[in-house]
Amino acid sequence: MTETAPRTNQDGSAYRAPAAGAIEVAPRSGTAFELRKGDVLRVIDPEGGQVSDMLAFMAADPREVISNGRTFDYEERIRLTTGNRLWSNRSTPMLEIIEDSVGTHDFLLTPCSEATFRHFYRDKPVHRGCFGNLAEALAPFGISPDAIPVAFNIFMNVPVADDGSLRVLPPPTKAGDYIRLRALDDLIIGLTACSAYDSCGGTFKPIHYRIERR
């Protein structure tokens, strides 16, 4: 009998299958799905060191969408964690962070795209990035690329210096770290396993998620 080689990630690390009830977002890909009011979305970094871009749109009217500016305004902070809510462009709370094992996320930077790769990674192959992955995943919901806003970048490490300058550092996550967000309305969610080199420390791994029904 021929033995099958164990599955590994793109960086050669051991593959971790999703836990029961969880779904995998493959490295450098994206997905979209509905999340009902009261449901809890658990986003898991199964290997450590991986960012996930998340978008939220109101199911009843996708023109109402997650907004970093409204969130910063109403939450009065740019570092968001347990107890904070994510708000829409129409000043409606959409999601509440109810548990967070990391406490490091970004809501400043836009999803990476082909233009991102041409600008920052001129020595690397151009990739459509999280923007392209989200655009494809959200198209069946009638959401166009121009409607994609700044994402809530789960596990992304973007320190802001006193002079206002930004850096993108590898995520501080360990294998199994997670965030749980409760839906405050019926939503359409876009979710990726980020494709940018700096965001993920130069490696690309999967993201797992699970919907905990109310």
152-172 pLDDT tens trace: 999 999 999 999 999 999 999
11, part of any domain: no
**Domain for residue 89, yes or no?**
yes
Q: Is the pTM of this model over 0.75?
A: yes
Tell me whether residue 12 is in a domain: no
Could you list the residue range(s) of the whole structural domain that residue 167 is in? 23-212
pLDDT value of position 176: 97
Residue 152 belongs to a domain: yes
Alpha-carbon distance 31 to 203, whole Å? 20
Q: Across the strands, what pairs with 211?
A: 41
How do beta strands 177-183 and 23-25 pair? unpaired
Is there a domain that residue 200 lies in? yes
What are the strands of the beta sheet with 52-58, ordered from one edge? 30-35, 187-192, 52-58, 152-154, 105-106
Distance CA 174, CA 49 (A): 7
Q: Is 205 within the bounds of a domain?
A: yes
**Closest Cα partner for 167 from 119, 126, 108?**
108
Overall average pLDDT of the 129-146 stretch: 97
On whether residue 186 sits in a domain, the answer given is yes
In a domain, 80, yes or no: yes
Number of structural domains the chain divides into:
1
